[in-house]
């Protein structure tokens, strides 16, 4: 199923609730005024020669089954500089596996986080934004109704994206962290309600997607579908084994299709693997024995796969109380991290790379790159049209 990365999704201006009232202000906030002045009037006193889209703020909002994340950035060379960010565990998919619906409590928690995001979008005067929702809203019977409620109460227009688009954005956001090498490489994203596997071939620009699969097992859905973890080490081991079997069965079609790619690897062309998720960043933090999470230490780290398996096995045997006392896990992740470990080990069984790359980036960064690229290309085309008309051609 060869696939060249499709064009970026159509961006749209943010039109948050209350934005008209905000726009009537005669003077911008002091911080924003300084930023605008710095862009419009460089120190040299010369007019800014950067393209107009370099002076704009762009935003990406990713509403997952477990987390709500926002990133606001401005272009900076070939990359971008983050000017604001927000992340909160909302557990939107809590109870979804049992009821097929988003619960009132989960929706209320999520709306609280989205109101914070809407305020940041307005305060930062975001020019273009894209807000996406993933597995929880795809699966829930009331997912569409919740999207409409979000629009009405916050002004944020969430787009329920397909699993295919979710995989594409994750690859676009983190592929630069893949180890150098040749041959196919695997990128995966362990979410709250689903996990995406993407087999890619690196190119000079955007990777070519060779194959992909999304399964409905994430840290929330797998935890809720596997029952209580039990009170003894034996009960916890049985539950963990069941989790790994469920995930491995779901991965089986993908594994069969790509067995030849895996078998072609030898000592001269090792398998490459990159993961983006809270699971891999948490386990990487434990590998480094960090006293608290540090993105700078984790993003781009390469970890021996055996170390990740050892940590996974240790966590799966602990009680939730023991896990909650570990740095970088705490009570917020204590009940979900074991499911993440089971999914990770199933991936390592499928694609047994000796080393695992860790990415604290993904869908949001992929959205930002798409927005900035699309807007920049549009500006270039409009400039060419204006120049053509001015020259009389």
Q: What is the pLDDT of residue 266?
A: 60
Average pLDDT over residues 6-20: 42
Taking the mean position of all CA atoms in its chain, how far away is CA 357? 15
Confidence of residue 206 (pLDDT cuts 50, 70, 90): confident
Average pLDDT over residues 51-68: 84
Looking at 213-354, list the stretches that DSSP marks H as alpha helix, in order from N- to C-terminal side.
Answer: 219-225, 233-257, 259-264, 278-288, 295-298, 305-317, 320-324, 330-334, 337-350
Q: What is the pLDDT of residue 391?
A: 64
CA distances 326 to 53, 83, 275, 338, 340, Å, are: 44, 31, 22, 13, 16
Kindly give, in sequence order, each residue whose CB lies less than 8 Å from that of residue 232, ignoring residues fewer than 6 positions away: none
Confidence of residue 8 (pLDDT cuts 50, 70, 90): very low
Q: Given a cut of 60, is residue 3 above it in pLDDT?
A: no
Q: What is the pLDDT of residue 330?
A: 87
Confidence of residue 26 (pLDDT cuts 50, 70, 90): very low
Confidence of residue 358 (pLDDT cuts 50, 70, 90): very high
Asked whether residue 170 falls in the same domain as residue 100, the answer is: no
Which uninterrupted H or E stretch holds 154? Answer: helix 143-154
Average pLDDT over residues 363-392: 71
Average pLDDT over residues 70-77: 91
Percent of the chain with pLDDT over 90: 71
Q: Using an 8 Å Cβ cutoff, are 143 and 160 in contact?
A: yes
Asked whether residue 140 falls in the same domain as residue 177, the answer is: no
Q: What is the pLDDT of residue 294?
A: 95
Q: Which of 293-297, 299-303, 315-319, 378-382 has the lowest mean pLDDT?
A: 378-382
Q: Using an 8 Å Cβ cutoff, are 366 and 267 in contact?
A: no
388 in a structural domain: no
389 in a structural domain: no
Domain-terminating residue out of 161, 190, 218 = 161
Between 208 and 33, the higher pLDDT residue: 208
Asked whether residue 70 falls in the same domain as residue 171, the answer is: no
Confidence of residue 35 (pLDDT cuts 50, 70, 90): very low
Q: What is the pLDDT of residue 393?
A: 55
Beta strands in the chain (DSSP E): 58-63, 67-76, 79-89, 128-133, 158-160, 185-190, 195-201, 208-215, 272-276, 302-304, 355-359
383 in a structural domain: no
Phi and psi at residue 368, to the nearest 5°: -60, -45
Average pLDDT over residues 31-38: 30
Q: Given a cut of 80, is residue 378 above it in pLDDT?
A: no
Q: What is the pLDDT of residue 25?
A: 37
Q: Which of 22-36, 127-141, 152-166, 254-268 has the lowest mean pLDDT?
A: 22-36
Phi and psi at residue 357, to the nearest 5°: -85, 145
Distance CA(100)–CA(133), nearest Å, equals: 16
Average pLDDT over residues 117-131: 95
Reading phi first (left if > 0) and then psi (alpha if -120 to 50, else beta), residue 328 is in: left
How many domains does the chain fold into?
A: 2
Distance CA(218)–CA(247), nearest Å, equals: 9
Nearest to 63 by CA among 122, 126, 171, 140: 140
Between 163 and 374, the higher pLDDT residue: 163
Q: What is the pLDDT of residue 31?
A: 34
Asked whether residue 336 falls in the same domain as residue 287, the answer is: yes
Asked whether residue 176 falls in the same domain as residue 101, the answer is: no
Asked whether residue 234 falls in the same domain as residue 130, the answer is: no
Q: What is the pLDDT of residue 37?
A: 27
Q: What is the pLDDT of residue 233?
A: 92
Between 387 and 100, the higher pLDDT residue: 100
CATH number of the domain at 230, please.
3.30.420.150
Kindly give, in sequence order, each residue whose CB lies less than 8 Å from that of residue 310, ignoring residues fewer than 6 positions away: none
372 in a structural domain: no
Domain containing residue 272: 165-361
Asked whether residue 136 falls in the same domain as residue 96, the answer is: yes
Q: Using an 8 Å Cβ cutoff, are 287 and 308 in contact?
A: yes
377 in a structural domain: no
CATH number of the domain at 34, please.
3.30.420.40
Q: Given a cut of 50, is residue 45 above it in pLDDT?
A: no
Q: Which of 74-83, 130-139, 266-275 has the lowest mean pLDDT?
A: 266-275
Confidence of residue 181 (pLDDT cuts 50, 70, 90): confident
Asked whether residue 156 falls in the same domain as residue 169, the answer is: no
Average pLDDT value over all residues in the chain: 84
1 in a structural domain: no
60 in a structural domain: yes
Phi and psi at residue 185, to the nearest 5°: -130, 155
Asked whether residue 44 falls in the same domain as residue 123, the answer is: yes
Asked whether residue 245 falls in the same domain as residue 140, the answer is: no
Which uninterrupted H or E stretch holds 376? Answer: helix 363-390
Q: Which of 36-45, 89-98, 258-267, 286-295 has the lowest mean pLDDT?
A: 36-45
Asked whether residue 38 falls in the same domain as residue 105, the answer is: yes
332 in a structural domain: yes
Confidence of residue 74 (pLDDT cuts 50, 70, 90): very high
Percent of the chain with pLDDT over 70: 80
Asked whether residue 182 falls in the same domain as residue 312, the answer is: yes
């Amino acid at each position: 199923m060869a696939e060249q990365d499709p064009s970026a999704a159509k961006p749209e201006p943010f039109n948050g609730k209350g934005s008209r009232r905000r726009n009537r202000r005669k003077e911008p906030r002091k911080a924003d005024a300084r930023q605008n002045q710095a862009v419009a009037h460089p120190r040299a006193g010369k007019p800014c020669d950067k393209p107009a889209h370099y002076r704009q703020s762009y935003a990406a909002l990713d509403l997952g089954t477990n987390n709500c994340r926002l990133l606001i950035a401005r272009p900076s060379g070939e990359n971008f500089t983050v000017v604001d960010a927000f992340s909160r565990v909302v557990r939107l998919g809590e109870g979804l596996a049992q009821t097929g619906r988003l619960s009132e409590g989960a929706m209320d928690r999520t709306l609280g986080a989205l109101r914070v995001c809407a305020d940041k979008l307005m305060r930062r005067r975001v020019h273009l934004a894209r807000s996406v929702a993933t597995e929880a809203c795809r699966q829930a019977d009331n997912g569409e109704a919740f999207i409409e409620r979000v629009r009405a109460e916050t002004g944020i227009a969430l787009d329920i994206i397909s699993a295919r688009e979710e995989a594409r954005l994750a690859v676009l956001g983190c592929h630069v962290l893949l180890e150098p090498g040749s041959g196919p490489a695997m990128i995966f994203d362990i979410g709250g309600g689903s996990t995406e596997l993407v087999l890619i071939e690196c190119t000079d620009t955007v990777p070519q997607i060779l194959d992909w699969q999304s399964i409905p097992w994430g840290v929330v859905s797998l935890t809720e579908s596997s029952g209580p973890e039990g009170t003894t080490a034996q009960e916890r081991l049985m539950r963990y084994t069941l989790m790994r079997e469920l995930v491995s069965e779901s991965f089986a079609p993908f594994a069969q299709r790509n067995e030849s790619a895996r078998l072609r690897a030898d000592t001269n062309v090792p398998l490459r693997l990159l993961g983006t998720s809270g699971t891999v960043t948490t386990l990487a933090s434990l590998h480094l024995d960090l006293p608290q999470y540090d993105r700078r230490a984790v993003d781009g780290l390469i970890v021996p796969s055996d170390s990740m398996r050892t940590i996974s096995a240790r966590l799966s045997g602990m009680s939730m109380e023991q896990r909650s006392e570990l740095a970088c896990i705490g009570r917020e992740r204590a009940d979900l991290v074991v499911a993440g470990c089971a999914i990770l080990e199933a991936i390592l069984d499928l694609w047994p790379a000796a080393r695992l790359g860790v990415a604290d980036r993904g869908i949001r960064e992929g959205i930002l790159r798409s927005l900035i690229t699309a807007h920049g290309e549009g500006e270039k085309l409009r400039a060419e049209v204006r120049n053509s008309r001015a020259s009389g051609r």
